[in-house]
Structure 1
């Protein structure tokens, strides 16, 4: 089976997320987000921790659940986020990374997946979470057409079902698409996000 290397797309999505997060100040951390009950501060702590967890997984050290736990935000959350983003991009850069096994304990104890698949998880997370941050801040967020198509392909492969309604699920149940949806709209609705948040579906 051909391995699809999403690292270039992932890097673009991550760097776009860094640009969006850089616009958030400490006074913004209490803002609501499209991520259920999370504030923007909660979301940034999660995003930063996930970068560190995926970086550890790429280096063969992702099996410890403690690595994936969010830490308290420091004095400059945007700078800490940017540092974590550079860490994961560096960890993903090795030639054989897509063929490695990544330990992802948040999915389940002892769970490992091929690196190429794990990078796909990371990519779609940061497309959606960058949108989450932008919406929380009331800022526009767009994807280049080719990046949106990559994201739509990954989003369409995310399984549906009961697990999406469980506490802590990464994505909610699929929503109806709006009229004349963009590729980004289709990504969002496939993963349970309303493109019109906070105004509804």
Structure 2
């Protein structure tokens, strides 16, 4: 990966957050490319991951966290809820030991660097999902697309076996990197 994963994650969260700030009052129930998710559910999902990140990067196990962050995390001010959660996640990921710590996820233990890469990839793909849902500019940062595509080329089989991603979509040769990345995650760009 050509960019530090912590920096990639921060930038992806910044891009997602910029879109959260663009969500109009009537768009929270708009469908997204994520099966069965509207905009509110999608943003809630990212907030949940943001809130879990400091816990997991500090050594707590997913089993210990349990359902602590289940339910509606957006409250009456979804933008404020997102901003606060993103700040905490970025601080945790930027920590001195974040890359070398062991994170105890529901499917097993992984190095912090791998967990941050997973968070980065998830929020980057969901940035496109949110942009598509609210009619915003769907272009993703090309450097982040490249970093995610490189990382996902090694992780794709594990994600598909765990049924975390949709079935990949076919793309013709010569397709641009963003379309290839989205297709590998089951999105039709």
TM-score for the superposition, normalised by structure 2: 0.89
| 8 Å Cα contact 2:128/2:140 also seen in 1 | no
1:10: how far off?
Answer: 1.0
Does the alignment pair 1:122 with 2:132? no
CA RMSD of aligned residues (A): 2.2
2:39 matched residue in structure 1:
40
Aligned mates of 2:29, 2:118 — CA distance in 1:
27
| 8 Å Cα contact 2:47/2:73 also seen in 1 | no
1:198 matched residue in structure 2:
none
Selected match of 2:110 from 109, 113, 124? 113
1:95: how far off?
Answer: 1.6
1:73-123 deviation digits (Å, cap 9, x = unpaired)? 311112211110111001111122100011222xx3xx2210010011001
1:186: how far off?
Answer: 1.1
1:136: how far off?
Answer: 0.4
Where 2:30 maps in the other structure, the secondary structure is coil
Where 1:118 maps in the other structure, the secondary structure is helix
Does the alignment pair 1:28 with 2:27? yes
Aligned mates of 1:72, 1:8 — CA distance in 2:
25
Where 1:160 maps in the other structure, the secondary structure is helix
Where 1:33 maps in the other structure, the secondary structure is coil
Residues matched between the structures, number:
186
Does the alignment pair 1:144 with 2:141? yes
| 8 Å Cα contact 1:49/1:67 also seen in 2 | no
Where 2:103 maps in the other structure, the secondary structure is strand
1:66 matched residue in structure 2:
67
1:46-76 deviation digits (Å, cap 9, x = unpaired)? 1110111122111222422224524353111
- More relative contact order, 1 or 2 (CA 8 Å, 6+ apart): 2
Label 1:184 to 1:80 Cα distance change in 2 as closer, same or farther (>3 A): same
Does the alignment pair 1:175 with 2:169? yes
Range moving further from structure 2, 142-151 or 5-14: 142-151
Aligned mates of 1:139, 1:74 — CA distance in 2:
24
Does the alignment pair 1:15 with 2:14? yes
| Structure 1 unaligned residues grouped into runs of 5+ | 196-201
Aligned mates of 1:68, 1:57 — CA distance in 2:
13
1:143: how far off?
Answer: 2.7
Range moving further from structure 2, 170-179 or 115-124: 170-179
Where 1:112 maps in the other structure, the secondary structure is strand
TM-score for the superposition, normalised by structure 1: 0.84
1:90 matched residue in structure 2:
91
| Structure 2 unaligned residues grouped into runs of 5+ | none
